[in-house]
Every structure is written in C-alpha cells, then in structure tokens.
Amino acid sequence: MEEISVRGTAWKDHDFSKYDVVLHVAGIAHVEEKHIDSEHYETVNCKLAADIASKAKVEGIQHFVFISSMSVYGLANGIITEETKPNPKSLYGKSKLHADRLIFQLIDKNFKVAILRPPMIYGPN
C-alpha cells in the first residue's frame, strides 16, 4: 500500500499503472457550511475524485474504490435500504453524490468501481 497526497498537482504525474486498485479517501468533511462554499466542495469532493478515477482508468487500474458518504441520502435518522433514493441536504452530501455519479459512469468491463457510503469518518486532519 502506498499513500499519495492529492493536495497539490504532483499526483497527476504519479504512475498509477503499477497498482491493481486505487482507494480514494481524500475529501472535505465536517466543515460548517458557513466556512466553505459549494464551489470548494465540488472542486475537492467531486472534481478531484472524478479526475483521479479517470486517471486510474486511463492507466489500466482494474478497480477503483471511492469513499463517499451516507450524507447523499440526506436523512437525519431512519433506515437506509436499497430502495432509499439519494436526497442530499448539505453541500457535502451534494458534492459526494455528484462524484458518485461521475465515477459510476466510468465503469466498463475493464474498470470496476466500488462506492462505499459510511455513516461517519473520523480521524486527525
């Protein structure tokens, strides 16, 4: 396993072809919306994720795993089932759902995608 920073643009020059799987976990979460605008959420949580997935596909990666969020459902409580339709209420949830949809479009017989929607991610930084 190798960790790659995607904060700048150096990742664009990184050779992904040596990997079997790319796991994308970078994103903005748990920031009060009054401190960040929708464009920043879209840039980091959506465009960056889709760009990394596209690069992975072009470089022959067989499987891309994206950490999305249960926030795409917009539920404060209740049970989420296979029939639950996404209905994000927050900028964060909307940006994650947009990324899910863009990444999902990349799927083909040579490029598999897994989108995980955990309820909460916690950790330093």
Q: CATH no. for residue 79? A: 3.40.50.720
In angstroms, rounded to a whole number, what is the distance separating the alpha carbons of residues 38 and 80? Answer: 26
- Flag whether 9 is in a domain: no
The tokens for 34 are 């009054």
Cα atoms in the 13 Å half-sphere on the side-chain side of 74: 11
**What 3-state class would DSSP assign to 39?**
helix
Lowest-confidence region among 12-26, 50-64, 85-99, 109-123? 109-123
pTM for the predicted model, two decimal places: 0.88
In angstroms, rounded to a whole number, what is the distance separating the alpha carbons of residues 13 and 19? Answer: 15
- Flag whether 69 is in a domain: yes
| Residues 37 and 82: beta-carbon distance below 8 Å | no
Residue 112: strand pairing partners: 63
- Flag whether 28 is in a domain: yes
- Flag whether 11 is in a domain: no
What integer pLDDT is reported at residue 34 of this predicted model?
74
Phi, psi of 45 (to 5 degrees): -80, -25
In angstroms, rounded to a whole number, what is the distance separating the alpha carbons of residues 33 and 90? Answer: 8
Q: Tally the domains of the chain.
A: 1
- Flag whether 58 is in a domain: yes
- Flag whether 4 is in a domain: no
- Flag whether 52 is in a domain: yes
State the average pLDDT over residues 16-37.
87
How does pLDDT run across 62-79, given as a tens digit for each residue? Answer: 999 999 999 999 977 888
- Flag whether 121 is in a domain: no
Domain residue limits at 110: 16-116
